[in-house]
């Protein structure tokens, strides 16, 4: 009389995110770990191991082959494999080959994410990569805030161009380049002898600012229109900066049309009745056009760039016919 074949059992591949603090696992993950017949991990330095052992989970440091793991599961046993950072491709590929051969009764294979990345988690990767580049790259390790300033300007203009082109791929890449400038400068700032700050300080500062300047979102104030929001913003900004004029903080180094529109916007929002300065020449004419455009809700800088791009296309068309 032939003996009944042993039940194939279960393999649970437990994955965790290195962007989440070790030990912060889901309840289904802890449940599987405590109820498993065996818990295996190939990496003796896996960051989760100290926390698993502290919770009473017995973890064997083992890297079985696919065949060995199938045998361990026989008898309806459940084996949890705590995956390494690479996700155990050797093991999963081996199990796929065994299943495809048709010569093995395979255990059930379940993938159980024990922790998930929160939105923005990849920013931690960027900070980590920047840390390493700052130390190991001969060029990056020598850069200063002043030396990088020109790249900030270039990347900002390239971002604007991607937006105007409507190219989603370029937009994503250029946003990354602008973000790199923020992380790079923040990493350099950590090394300042007297006043160091980090990317966390930068993020904390802007979070505090955003909350304070949006009392209609995080407080009891109300705002029904974009104009109400802008009034809130300017009022709280004036309180923070203790500025004497609505023109304070307007960078004079920006392009001329943008500068004129910004001044006009500040004046209009503050409810000031200011006549344009009298003068002759193209500069005063452009100033009047910029103020008029801003009042009509048009960005004169963007409008001129659009016209200039049309002019460029016309030039290229003329060159093609020459």
Q: Which of 82, 113, 144 finishes a domain? A: 113
Rounded alpha-carbon distances, angstroms, from residue 38 to 32, 66, 104, 231, 272: 10, 15, 21, 63, 75
Q: What is the pLDDT along the chain (322 residues), one digit of tens a residue?
A: 455 567 889 999 999 888 888 999 999 999 999 999 999 999 999 999 999 999 999 999 999 999 999 999 999 999 999 998 777 888 989 999 998 888 888 999 999 999 888 889 899 999 999 999 999 999 999 999 999 999 999 999 999 999 988 999 999 999 999 999 999 999 999 999 999 999 999 999 999 989 988 888 888 888 888 888 877 777 777 777 777 788 888 888 888 999 999 999 989 888 889 999 988 899 999 999 999 999 999 999 999 989 999 999 999 999 988 7
Give the position of tokens 């190219």: 167
- 270 and 315 in a single domain? The answer is yes
Q: Which of 113, 139, 165 finishes a domain? A: 113
Distance CA 18, CA 241 (A): 40
Distance CA 73, CA 307 (A): 70
The pair phi, psi for residue 12, each rounded to 5°, is -110, 115
pLDDT of residue 1: 46
Helical H segments across 166-212, by residue range: 168-189, 199-212
Distance CA 62, CA 157 (A): 53
- 132 and 52 in a single domain? The answer is no
Mean pLDDT rounded to a whole number for the chain: 90
- 105 and 149 in a single domain? The answer is no
Domain count within the chain:
3
Is 263 inside a domain boundary? yes
- 24 and 69 in a single domain? The answer is yes
pLDDT of residue 227: 83
pLDDT of residue 4: 57
Write out the residue range of the structural domain in which residue 318 sits.
243-322
């Amino acid at each position: 009389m032939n003996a009944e074949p042993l039940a194939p059992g279960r393999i649970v591949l437990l994955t965790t995110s290195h962007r989440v603090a070790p030990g912060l696992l889901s309840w289904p993950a802890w449940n599987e770990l405590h109820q498993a017949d065996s818990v295996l991990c190939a990496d003796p330095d896996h960051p989760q191991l100290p926390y698993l052992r502290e919770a009473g989970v017995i973890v064997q440091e083992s890297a079985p082959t696919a065949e060995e793991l199938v045998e361990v599961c026989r008898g309806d046993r459940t084996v949890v494999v705590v995956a390494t950072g690479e996700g155990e491709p050797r093991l999963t590929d081996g199990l796929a080959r065994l299943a495809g051969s048709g010569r093995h009764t395979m255990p059930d294979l379940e993938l159980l994410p024990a922790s998930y990345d929160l939105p923005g988690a990849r920013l931690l990767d960027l900070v980590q990569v920047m840390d390493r580049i700052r130390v190991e790259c001969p060029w990056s390790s020598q850069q200063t805030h002043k030396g990088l300033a020109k790249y900030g300007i270039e990347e900002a203009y390239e971002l604007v161009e991607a937006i105007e082109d409507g190219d989603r791929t370029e937009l994503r890449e250029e946003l990354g380049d602008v973000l790199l400038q923020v992380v790079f400068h923040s990493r350099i700032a950590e090394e300042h002898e007297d006043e160091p700050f980090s990317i966390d300080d930068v993020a904390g500062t802007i979070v505090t600012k955003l909350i304070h300047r949006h009392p209609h979102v995080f407080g009891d104030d109300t705002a029904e229109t974009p104009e109400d929001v802008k009034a809130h913003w300017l009022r709280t900004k004036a309180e923070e900066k203790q500025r004497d004029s609505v023109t304070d903080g307007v960078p004079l180094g920006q392009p001329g049309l943008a500068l004129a529109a910004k001044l006009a916007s500040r004046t209009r929002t503050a409810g000031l009745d200011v006549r344009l300065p009298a003068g002759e020449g193209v500069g005063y004419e452009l100033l009047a056009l910029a103020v008029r455009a801003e009042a009509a809700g048009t960005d004169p800088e963007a409008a001129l760039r659009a016209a200039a791009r049309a002019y460029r296309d016309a030039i290229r068309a003329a060159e093609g016919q020459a």
